[in-house]
Structures are given as C-alpha cells and as structure tokens.
Amino acid sequence: MNIFSGIKDLLGQINKIDGSIYRHGRDFSDIYEKNIELEQEIAARTKELEQANQTILTLNSVWDMMNSSQPLSSMLAKIVSILYEDMNYHFASILKIELDEHNTPYFSEKAASANRSMNRVIEFANVNLETYKFPYVDSSIIVKAITEREIYSTPDIKGMVKMFFPNLSEEQLNDLVSQMNSKSCTIVPLYKGKEDFGCLIVTTERENITDTESNFLTLFANQIELAITVAGLFEEVKKQAITDPLTGLFNRRYFEENIVKEAERSLRLKQSFSVVSLDLDYLKRINDTYGHQFGDIAIKTIANVLKKEARSIDIPARIGGEEFNLLLPGVDSRGAMIAAERIRKSIENQIIDTIGGVTASIGVATFLEHSDRIDELIELADQAMYKAKVNGRNQVQIAQMQSESEWQKIAMETFMDILSKKRIPVTDNVSMAIIQKLQSIGTSDKNSNEILYSVVDIISQTYNRMYKTGTTKSKIILAILIAKRLELPKEEIDKLKLAILLYDIGNIMVPEEIFNKKEPLTDAEREIIKTHPVIAAREILKPISNIQDIIPIIENHHENWDGKGYPSNKSGIEIPITSQIVLLVDAFYAMTQDRPHRHAYEIDEILDIIKKEAGQKWNSKLVEDFIDVVKNEQLQ
C-alpha cells in the first residue's frame, strides 16, 4: 500500500507540475502575442508619425510657394510634383472646370505629375493635354465629389480612364490599367472662395484610403485652395498694373516696356516691327454733344476692334485719352499698312447707339525702315496719324523719314545755348554733365525724349531739392493728353512740349533761401517769386532765336482766367490755351509733391482744390477735361 500510495502522491505532484507548466506556458504565449500586437501598434503609430511629419513638411512647402508669389501654373505643377515624389502617390493631377463657347462645362488639366502610364494614355488617345477638353459627366464620381464637396475614392481605375478618354478601345484600356499598378483613385474637390474650381485626383496602390490620409488630403486641398486664391489675387494685381481700366487694353507703361524688348530683338535678328498709332476722330464733339459716357463708349468700341483684329503676339495699348498704339512684331511697313487699313474699315463699320458711326485717323511707322530709335519711331507714327487728321481723317498714312523731330532738336539746341553761354547759375560740373547728356542724343541707345526729360529734372533739382526725378516726363505726358483732348494741332502740341521743358527754368534765379523757406513768404518775397516767368522769358530765353514763339506761352502761364494772375492781369481767352494748360499741369504736380511748408496732397484733394477754383484761376471747361483725363489715366 505504501508503494501505491507513494506512486499516487508522485502522480499528483507531476500533475501539479504539468498544470503549472501549462499555466505558465499560456502566460508566456499571451505575453508573446501581446508583444507582437504592441510592436505592430508601435510600427503603425511610427508610420503615422512619419506621415504626419511628411504632411507638415509638404504643407510648409506649399505655404512657402504661396509666399513667393509664383504664377498659379508654377504653384500647381509643384504641388502635384510633391504628391508624386514625396507622398508616394502613383499619379496626381489638378483639373479645372472651364466653359466652352456654348457655355458647356469641361475639365482642363492645369498640372499633372510625371507618369509613364499616362504617357501611354496620351499616345493611345492621340491628344494634346494642354488643349484637351476632359468630358464633364454629370453622373460621374468626379462631379459628385465637387458638387457634394466630399472626398470620394473608387477602385474603378478603368472606368475613370474610359470616362476621360471615351475613344480608347477595350484592349487599350486593359493594357493601360494593367500597367498602372494603382488600386484606387481618390477625388478631392477644390474651390476658389465659394465657387467650384475643379478637383485634385490621386491614384495609389492602396485599395482604401485611411481616415488619416483623408484628413491629410483635406488639409492639402485647403492649402491648394489658398494657393489658388493667393495666386489669383497676384495675377489680378499684376493685370491691373499693366492694363487700362476703361478698355482692358494694355497701358502706356506696358507698351513702352515691350517696345524696348522688341527693339532689342529686332536689332539682334535684323527683323522689322511696326507701330500703328491710332486716334479716335471727333471725341471732343462726341463728349460735348452726347456726354462723356458716350465718349467712353466710343473709346471702348475702338479698343474692342483692336482686341479683335490683333494677333496673339501683338500688343494693343491705350496710350491716353482717345489715342491708341498697336505693336506689330515681325511686321514690315507693307504688312502694317494692310493691318491698319483693316482696322480702319472695321472701326468705320461699327454702329453705336445714339452716336451712330465713329472713325479713326491712323499712322504707321516701321523700325529699321523709318528709324532705328524707339522715341523717334513713335514720334513718326504720331506725326503720320496727325497727317491723316489734317488730310480729312478716317484714313491711314505712313511715316515720312526724317533725321530728328523738330521740337527735340530745338530743345537740345536751346539747352546747349543756355548752358554753354552760362545763362543760368549752375556749377561747371553740373553744366558739363548736362552737356554730355545732350551730346549723346542721336548717338546714344537711350531715347532722346528721356535724355531731355532728365536734363530738366537735373536743373530743377538744383533749386528744388524735393523735385522728383521723372516729374518732367509726367508733366509732358499729361499736357499732351489734355492738348489732344482739345484737338490742338500738332504744331501747337510741339510748342507745348517745349514750353513744359522751359517754363520753370527761371526758378533757378530765385534765391534758394526764399524758394525753400518753411515760413510764410513776405510781400517782398512774393514779388520776387512772381517775377520768375518774366525773368525766364526775357532774360534767359529771348536771346535764343529759334524759340521766340514759345516765349508768349511761358510769359502768360501764370495768368488767371478771372484776370487776377500775373504779370499782365490778362483774363479769359486773352490767355493762350497752351499757357492755361501749363498753369494747370504745373499746379497739379506742385501739389503732388512735398514742399518745405507742407506735405504732398492726395490726388482727390488736389482735384477738389482745382474744381473749387474753376472759373477763377482757370477755365471751367478746361478743368472738366483735365479732371476727366486725370481720372481716366489714373495718374496717381
């Protein structure tokens, strides 16, 4: 019994040991499995952290792009590149909703990542993606995503390709899809403010996108939308900077910048280009008869004709008032005359309500044929246009070659005489610097006009430290715009240009301590200031024979309409119209600049001051035209 009893005890102990081992084995198994789960969880969280970090870096990259003010096309291209290269999507594309000529919507591709399979699609479909109109299918998942403003994902890659390229055969579709290695396509709607912009499309090897990925794509879409808005604002500001607000044509500044570039290209390639100068006939009569609103309609009618007739590479611009220029790259004089005549006929055929028909006088000049200097070319085109006006209007005239514009020649000779004979008190260094500038006219690559303007700026700055460089050019431009609005003949406009250059030269004779005095002037000092036009006209300019017909303009440019001006108390029509223009332009630009005793006025303040003195200091009708020109030309 003892033996059996011992065996029984031993078996019991063995069973206890086996039970303990079993229990511990289960514990070890549970720990092992839990470790595996924990490692997987850590791996998943690590991947999420890496993805989150990459998301932050990606969003920062997009933000940096927005701060760089890149064009929208460049920003969108960079965005899809980031998705493809950094976020491991197989393909990324941004589509925008467009409308065709029938107001039917379609998608255009604004950016796409590099992708070999897509290259095969383009090859099979035989399309140019830059111009291809992707179908807008109302029942499609893409339109559904955009209209419902939700992210949608689909595994139907083949269906997506077929929707966009319906002409592909079944065999081509199967071949393409097999090469893509993508298992799902995700559509992310994009907006510009409250308007539908389009969508972002990405393909991936994952069958379903995770919540984390969906959140990332939502954040990314928000950044894209912000990029679209910022870039759109940048483009709008840029457009406004180069566009005339009334007509939508390019403005004077843009035209001048581009004619310089075209001249450089022309000289390099020995290829001509032409300038067409165009002026609406009888604008003053239209304004006086029907009102300025109809004058604006006539101006916009001319602009619409130029937009329609211009090639994509041409630059139609509103130079000011009713004057337009058209830059024709690569066109010789014969081609330019044909184009100008076509424009003239098109304008003649326009019928405007209330006004009826309008016409235009047109001049043509060609670079390398009529001149190899930009300023002279524009001057010649302008002269040809004036010849068309003088000969009866509503016609095209071609430029006549001449060595130099007469008014420029007179201006250059006058300044050379004044400086070489020391008619004004400037230092020898200043005098020599100006003379060298003048001597460069005709040999310099710079415009003759610009040289003359800079000469006046330099002289003005010798007695007025606050005189801004570029003011003389601005004065000339404004004075010409007003003169053309009044339909003054070319000869009077040339005299006006010379008067603007010379009228204030007498200021250099005023003692500096008076001119720059901050306190109110005494009566004696006011009398000294008042004598400067007489000094300029009689003591400085009268000995110079070729500007005798300019002197009366300068002598009378401080006479007021009501007879309370100086030096002769002339009034009304006794004052030459050119003198009235000089006075008004001078007062306007004087108020735009700081003075020792006051700060510069705002444009609206200046116009209010001018309006209040209409009928007293200046002609009321002239003030009306002046204000209209300033507002139209946005001379801020």
Lowest-confidence segment of 23-32, 489-498, 590-599 by average pLDDT: 23-32
Q: H helices within 270-400, ranges in order?
A: 283-290, 292-309, 333-348, 374-390
Strand order in the sheet with 396-398: 315-320, 323-328, 274-280, 360-366, 396-398
Lowest-confidence segment of 193-207, 381-395, 510-524 by average pLDDT: 510-524
Mark whether 195 is an active-site residue.
Answer: no
What are 116-153's pLDDT values in tens digits?
666 777 777 777 877 889 999 999 999 999 999 999 99
Which whole-number Å values give the CA distances from 43 to 36, 38, 49, in the listed order? 10, 8, 10
Supply 228's token pair: 């679209």
- Residue identified by tokens 């006009």 is 449
| Domain range 406-633, CATH class | mainly alpha
Q: H helices within 243-332, ranges in order?
A: 252-269, 283-290, 292-309
What pTM was computed for the model?
Answer: 0.59
Lowest-confidence segment of 368-372, 431-435, 534-538 by average pLDDT: 534-538
SS3 call for 120: helix
Mean pLDDT of the region 529-551: 77
pLDDT of residue 440: 80
Q: Please give the CATH number for the structural domain made up of 72-241.
A: 3.30.450.40
Please state, in angstroms and rounded to a whole number, the distance separating the CA atoms of residues 457 and 459: 6
**Fold assignment, 252-398:** Alpha-Beta Plaits (3.30.70)
pLDDT of residue 14: 60
Band of residue 445 on the pLDDT scale cut at 50, 70, 90: very low
Catalytic pick from 109, 322, 376, 559? 322
The more confident residue out of 98 and 209 is: 98
Lowest-confidence segment of 38-42, 281-285, 562-566 by average pLDDT: 38-42
Is 62 a residue whose pLDDT tops 60? no
Q: What is the DSSP string of 156-190?
A: -HHHHHHHH-TT--HHHHHHHHHHH---EEEEEEE
Which residues have C-beta within 8 Å of that of residue 218, sequence separation ≥ 6? 151, 188
Strand boundaries in 349-435, DSSP class E: 351-352, 356-357, 360-366, 396-398
The more confident residue out of 27 and 595 is: 595
What are 157-208's pLDDT values in tens digits?
889 988 988 888 888 888 887 877 788 899 999 988 788 999 999 888 887 7
pLDDT of residue 46: 62
What are 85-108's pLDDT values in tens digits?
767 788 888 999 998 878 899 999
Is 53 a residue whose pLDDT tops 60? no
Mean pLDDT of the region 494-499: 92
pLDDT of residue 576: 94
Is residue 93 within a helix (H) or strand (E), and if so which, with residue range? strand 91-99
Is residue 565 within a helix (H) or strand (E), and if so which, with residue range? none
Band of residue 236 on the pLDDT scale cut at 50, 70, 90: low
Supply 630's token pair: 């300033």
Number of other residues whose CB lies within 10 A of the CB of residue 499: 24
Is 210 a residue whose pLDDT tops 60? yes
Percentage of the chain beyond pLDDT 70 is 82
Please state, in angstroms and rounded to a whole number, the distance separating the CA atoms of residues 572 and 618: 9
Whether the link from the prior residue into 567 is cis, omega within 30° of 0, is yes
pLDDT of residue 636: 43
Is 405 a residue whose pLDDT tops 80? no
